[in-house]
A = this chain, B = another copy of it.
Amino acid sequence: MTSTNQVKSAYHHGDLRSSLLQAATDLIAEGGVDALSMRKLADRVGVSRTAPYHHFTDKHALLSALAEEGFKSYEKAVEEALAGATSEDELLFRFARSYLEFAQAYPETYNLMFGQSVWKAGIPTEQLKTEAYHCFRRYVEHVTDWQQQGLLSEQVEPLHFAQVSWSTLHGLARLLLDGIYIDLKHLDDLINLAVRMFRNA
């Protein structure tokens, strides 16, 4: 028997994949996504440069995995926010606000979820695509619910409404995070205006 029951054995780390994901989020939290390199990541975990490639075919695949996790925690955050509503009236507002709060709270994750680092250059993982698509489908369902509850006009195609309103929120998030045209001070006003637009669609 070797000392396998010690904390770690040199070879066969045993939990490399999730360790990598954890270290990657740490690294990104510390210095943005630019501060994440495969080499530094491997170093941090205490493994050789190319070891991560056995668990992620690519750097893009690693980023995709992080984005995937992001979608999951996004979904949770939004659903919790909606569940906390005391009246139907606030549903739309709560959705919008939780969306932007998520983007603000985890800007780097949000970048990964919707940025080009994954969707363009890396051609997204199949898993990521289904995860992202699932989030959107869920939103479309909410939209139809809201239509039935009379919160939204039933005249508009739910899909189209979902696409445009998501665009508004995504645009707000992007401009806010990138520091273009929008500053945090007016954000509440902007969310209110956006929601009013949605209502009157």
Contacts and interface: CB of A to CB of B under 8 A. Distances in A.
Interface of A: 32, 34, 111, 114-116, 119-121, 132, 136, 156-157, 159-161, 163-164, 166-172, 174-175, 178-182, 186, 189-190, 193-194, 196-198, 200-201
Given A180-B132, A197-B200, A171 B160 contact: no
Given A119-B180, A171-B166, A174-B114, A161 B193 contact: yes
Contact of A120 (B136, B172, B178, B190): B178
Contact of A189 (B136, B157, B186): B157
Contacts of A119: 178-180
Nearest to A157: B189
B196 A167 contact: no
A198 B201 contact: no
A191 B115 CA distance: 22
B174 A170 contact: yes
Given A119-B178, A201-B200, A186 B160 contact: yes
A166 B174 contact: no
**Considering residues A34, A111, A194, which has the most beta carbons from chain B within 10 angstroms of its beta carbon?**
A194
A193 B201 contact: yes
A156 to B, nearest CB: 6
21 contacts: A119-B179, A119-B180, A120-B178, A136-B181, A157-B189, A163-B181, A163-B182, A164-B168, A164-B190, A166-B175, A166-B181, A167-B174, A167-B190, A168-B168, A169-B171, A170-B171, A171-B171, A174-B174, A197-B200, A200-B200, A200-B201
